[in-house]
A and B are shown apart, each in its own frame.
Chain A
Amino acid sequence: DAGITQSPRYKITETGRQVTLMCHQTWSHSYMFWYRQDLGHGLRLIYYSAAADITDKGEVPDGYVVSRSKTENFPLTLESATRSQTSVYFCASKTGSSYEQYFGPGTRLTVT
Chain B
Amino acid sequence: SQQGEEDPQALSIQEGENATMNCSYKTSINNLQWYRQNSGRGLVHLILIRSNEREKHSGRLRVTLDTSKKSSSLLITASRAADTASYFCATDGAGAGSYQLTFGKGTKLSVIP
The answer to whether A binds B is no
